[in-house]
Structure 1
Amino acid sequence: MCVFRVNWKKLFLAFITVFLVIQIIGSFFFYGLAINRGPKEFLQNNADLEVSDKAMDLFINGSWKEWVGAQNFEQLTIQSRDGLELSGYYLPASEPTDKLVILTHGYLGNAKQMGLYGQYYHKDLGYNIFMPDARGHGKSEGDYYGFGWPDRLDLIDWTQDLVKKLGADTEVVYHGLSMGAATVLMASGEEDLPRQVKSIIADSPYESVYELFAYQMNRMFYLPAFPLLDSTSLLTKVRAGYSFRNASALTEVARTDVPILYIHGEADTFVPTKMAINLFQNTASDAELMLVPGANHGEAFALAEDEYKMKVDRFLKRHINTKK
């Protein structure tokens, strides 16, 4: 009679080895998929990013594109705290003013795409405008995407530079879209946020990088967040200098004193609407929330332009000194 004895110790070690190999391979796969700079084919034909014909027409054929092309932007550069050369575009107001808006774009976007909002601030409100390329985007250096966390420090440095350029009495508004919205929120609670920042507009923000990726992993790949997302976060910490759990807008808004207007589409399935609601409910400062029925991710301005502008205008009048 042959008796097979199971070596449980070896079996356990083999299991652990296979598990670790899968985590390592998976971490590098998802790092390349989302964090590493480059085109992201997995977002093509993503149903959660489909927009209405009205929104698409505005994004592609809107008069704002001609307006951006006709402006004589001054290209500015700074060096980030970790040695990257960052690029951005400054346009002074038609008449002298101490008002400045910094417009921060979304994931895989670029600075001049925020001209959709820049035209409104420049023509209707008479603001100086500045549109930076986030690290890893446009003309800015960087071989990874920061999803707002390292970018928050870049934003603060841009603000300090622009205040030196325009004067200490400058009143600054942050207006961000998607990743750019997370960026301005992640900057909102920082101790070195310049006192000149008076208001924040966050359009389609997410709570944290971890929560965003956990939602997307489940929605697109039917995978639980743990443990693969945690191992990818560890790899990102090693290669890009930040972890997903630390990159939290929710933590920052809970300690900010800057007024925040949240805007989100009620039909957003890419960054669920409940994230904006949760951010709003946990904001320590004066906060408002505008939800746009039927709007998918980033569509609020396109589908409700008049209401959007009216809400922003009223919010800014409450918190910006309009007499200057």
Structure 2
Amino acid sequence: MKRKYKVIITIVSLLLVLFVGAGFFAGNYFFNLALNPNTDKSAALNAPHNSIAISPEDAKEKEESKKWFKENFEDSFIQSFDDLKLHAYTLKNTNETNKWAIVFHGYSSDGSQMSKYAKHYYDMGFNVLIPDARGHGKSEGDYIGMGWHDRLDVVSWINNVISSNKNAEIVLYGVSMGGATVMMASGEDLPDNVKAIIEDCGYSSVWDEFSYQLKAIFKLPTFPIMHFSSAVTKLKADYTLGEASAVEQVAKSKTPMLFIHGSKDTFVPSDMLNEVYEAANVPKEKLIVEGAGHGGAESVAGDSYWETINNFLAKYIE
């Protein structure tokens, strides 16, 4: 009996070791696929449900704004809470103003790709600051924060603006991962200078977004891959996929918020909008753009997109 019992224990132990080993192997694979900034993201970004259509008109506006951007930006740098050198593009308005828009880009992108949005805020009379998220563009970092550690970088950029303009009236704006970033920052103790936050197609949490993509791209269940991936993320990037929650951060916010999403978004499912909107206990509004895919609300809605933003900001910024 004892021998049989030992054999069973040995087999179970080996199976457990194999399970854990395979789990961490898979977790490391998905960490590198999703959060290592040096790996190719095309497999995920080019998946059919993640494709982002760009109209000829949108492409033309983007090219025109890129030219304007290159002729007008200045480089800015700060040190992060964990000693990374972070970069941002600064566009000072020719008309002196205390109004600042801090604009945040999406996943696997960089600040220079936000020139179209920057131009709109500039034309609305704002100075514009566009940070490169850690691990993106000219900012240092060996992992993608998905908005979580970036939320503390947001606070650093806010303080940097205030240090040179104590009367600054600041709006935080972000698209996709940038939208999640400003939502995650909303739960921090922000200075009174931050008057409003606008998020466009941000996800409810990193766990929810990655679970959705895991199923959509690889047809794999949440358990156990997400759990091992989260453990690897904690080891390599010092945060878990579960703690990186826009919903929980928005629930702590004291800043008025505008939530925007396209009804046909299949990259960040549009039902995530309801989760973050319902969690907010501040003056809030939402704009659902019918027929818009991921990051397409602005191009589909056109002038009404910016009219909604203008009307929202007019309530909180002089």
The reply to whether TM is greater than 0.5 is: yes
Report the TM-score, using the length of structure 1 for normalisation. Answer: 0.93
1:212 aligns with 2:209: yes
Looking at structure 1, the residues matched to 50 and 58 of structure 2 have their Cα atoms a distance apart, in angstroms, of 15
1:158 aligns with 2:157: yes
Q: CA deviation at 1:44?
A: 4.7
Residue-by-residue CA offset, 1:216-268 (whole Å, 9 max, x unaligned): 11111111112211111111111111111111110011111101101101000
Q: CA deviation at 1:292?
A: 0.8
Looking at structure 2, the residues matched to 13 and 56 of structure 1 have their Cα atoms a distance apart, in angstroms, of 61
The answer to which of 54-63 and 254-263 deviates more is 54-63
Looking at structure 2, the residues matched to 60 and 27 of structure 1 have their Cα atoms a distance apart, in angstroms, of 40
Q: CA deviation at 1:138?
A: 0.2
Count of aligned positions: 314
Name the structure 1 match of 2:125: 126
The DSSP-based 3-state class of the residue aligned with 1:280 is helix
Looking at structure 2, the residues matched to 250 and 102 of structure 1 have their Cα atoms a distance apart, in angstroms, of 21
1:81 aligns with 2:81: yes
Q: CA deviation at 1:8?
A: 2.0
Looking at structure 1, the residues matched to 52 and 58 of structure 2 have their Cα atoms a distance apart, in angstroms, of 10
- Supply the AA of the counterpart residue of 2:218: F
Looking at structure 2, the residues matched to 188 and 111 of structure 1 have their Cα atoms a distance apart, in angstroms, of 20
The DSSP-based 3-state class of the residue aligned with 1:215 is helix
The DSSP-based 3-state class of the residue aligned with 1:16 is helix
Q: CA deviation at 1:69?
A: 2.2
Report the TM-score, using the length of structure 2 for normalisation. Answer: 0.95
List gaps (5 residues or longer) in structure 2.
Answer: none
Looking at structure 2, the residues matched to 47 and 69 of structure 1 have their Cα atoms a distance apart, in angstroms, of 32
The answer as to whether partners of 1:169 and 1:196 remain within 8 angstroms in 2 is yes
The answer as to whether partners of 2:62 and 2:116 remain within 8 angstroms in 1 is no
Looking at structure 1, the residues matched to 287 and 308 of structure 2 have their Cα atoms a distance apart, in angstroms, of 8
- Supply the AA of the counterpart residue of 1:170: A
CA 1:213 to 1:304, structure 2 compared with 1: closer, same or farther past 3 Å?
A: same
Alignment of 1:230-245 (within 5 A): 230-245=227-242
- Supply the AA of the counterpart residue of 1:265: G
- Supply the AA of the counterpart residue of 2:125: G
Match of 2:175 among 154, 174, 177: 177
Looking at structure 1, the residues matched to 151 and 10 of structure 2 have their Cα atoms a distance apart, in angstroms, of 48
Alignment of 1:248-287 (within 5 A): 248-287=245-284
- Percentage of matched positions with identical amino acids: 38
List gaps (5 residues or longer) in structure 1.
Answer: none
Name the structure 2 match of 1:108: 108
Alignment of 1:1-324 (within 5 A): 7-38=7-38, 39-54=40-55, 57-58=58-59, 62-71=63-72, 73-123=73-123, 125-166=124-165, 168-191=166-189, 193-321=190-318
